[in-house]
Amino acid sequence: MSEELRVVSLRLDGVEAAQAASIQELDRVTGLFREALAVLRGVIEAAQHGLIPELNLSRELMDEVEHSRGLT
């Protein structure tokens, strides 16, 4: 019985680690999404005033954009 409990405990440890990593990735992606929304709002506002907007993207968001281009 104790061996079975040890195996279950190890599996639970793995599930907890995966959940923590998933939450961390969700937080990262949510931050990037919020940043992208702010950039888009700036583009819209500049365009409404007839200006050419300046894109101020973090390095991480720029990397994601470049990665997405490679997927299409």
Predicted confidence (pLDDT) per residue in 31-48, tens digit: 999 999 999 999 999 999
Reduced to 3 states (helix: H, G, I; strand: E, B; else coil), residue 52 is coil
pTM: 0.76
CA-CA distance, 4 to 12, in Å (whole number)?
A: 12
Is the predicted pLDDT of residue 1 greater than 80, yes or no? no
Decide: residue 39, CB within 10 A, 0-12 exposed, 13-18 middle, 19+ buried.
middle
Establish how many alpha carbons lie within 13 A of residue 20's alpha carbon, considering only the half-sphere containing its beta carbon. 6
